[in-house]
Amino acid sequence: MVVDRIFSGIQPTGTPHLGNYLGAIQNWVNLQEKCSSVLYSIMDMHSLTMPKEPAVLRQNILDTTAAILACGIDPKKCFLFRQSQVPEHAELAWILGCLTNVPRLLRLPQWKMKRASQNSEGTVGLLTYPVLQAADILLYKSTRVPVGEDQVLHLELAQDIAQHFNKKYGEFFPVPKAILSTTKKIKSLRDPSVKMSKSDPQKLATVNIADSPDEVVLKFRKAVTDFTSEVTYDPITRPGVSNLVSIHAAVTGLSIKEVLHQATGLNTAHYKMVVAESVIQKFTPIRNEIKKLQEDKSHLVKVLEDGAEKAKEVAAPIYQEIRRLVGFQ
């Protein structure tokens, strides 16, 4: 019997930014209310593809956990755990890697982009992390995966690997389906041609959900728009203003049409402050809760450890059957 199961993960980059929340975490909160089997993972193994100091990684894991909890993720309604605390993820990745062609991985755009950003030839981990992503999903026989536009190709790889495994060893994995985010992709406030990112070297480009009201106001005041004062929505010809409209709609729950109606008669300078105020109202309670949770490190550690134990209970029998199928036992 196939169990309807949702799996998703987030890299521990510290406190998430606006795009993380609107594109993923907000959806996670909704999904935990609609599905009886939901797993959310802090992807600490994936984070090693971009070099980090161990102390920074440890703190980022705790900060990301605090933020996710503050946003409304409830460990009673889902399993929240660290990827590295369930060793079957890495073990299954090796098995699946032996079914995956190198040329397929070389064609993935993330390999090309991230290798370029590191100014290097790239590591084995950077090349093969999409296989680990497939293992993350398939280890739990997940049926649905919330993904953003930039991860669709990686999910397609997981689907193909599942089908390849089933063809070789018999029907075993359900082929996971995508749950696509309905939120418009949030772009950088300084360069609306690229998505908002924690790694952006321009500090004013990214709004973190724990930013102070003064920081939020400054970043929106400096947001790149254009020389037309009217507020309209046209992502092709007016990407900067359209990004502000998308953010305004997403944080208020209103449609694009509704926020444009509210902005009638406002110039872009005034509208920036309207959007900033909406963001502040949305995230002030979350920011306060993050601070409170960060003060209780032992609670955060326990949440992740308890979640890992529950995840192992799901993963262990599935992985034992995989071992039998491939001939390990």
Of 246, 248, 276, nearest in space to 186 by CA: 246
Of 192, 103, 194, 177, nearest in space to 141 by CA: 177
* Residues contacting 155, CB < 8 A, separation 6+: 137, 145, 147, 176, 178
Q: How many degrees, rounded to 5, is the angle at CA 254 between CA 251 and CA 256?
A: 100
SS3 assignment, position 74 = coil
**Sign, Cα dihedral of 21, 63, 34, 1:** positive
Q: Is 272 a catalytic residue?
A: no
Of the residues 141, 184, 187, 195, which is catalytic?
195
Of the residues 77, 185, 198, 310, which is catalytic?
198
Q: How many Å apart are CA 247 and CA 245, to the nearest integer? A: 5
- Burial class of residue 8 in the structure, from the number of CB atoms within 10 Å of its CB (0-12 exposed, 13-18 middle, 19+ buried): buried
Q: Is 77 a catalytic residue?
A: no
Residue 10's beta-bridge partner residues? 42
Q: Is 198 a catalytic residue?
A: yes
Residues catalogued as catalytic:
114, 195, 198
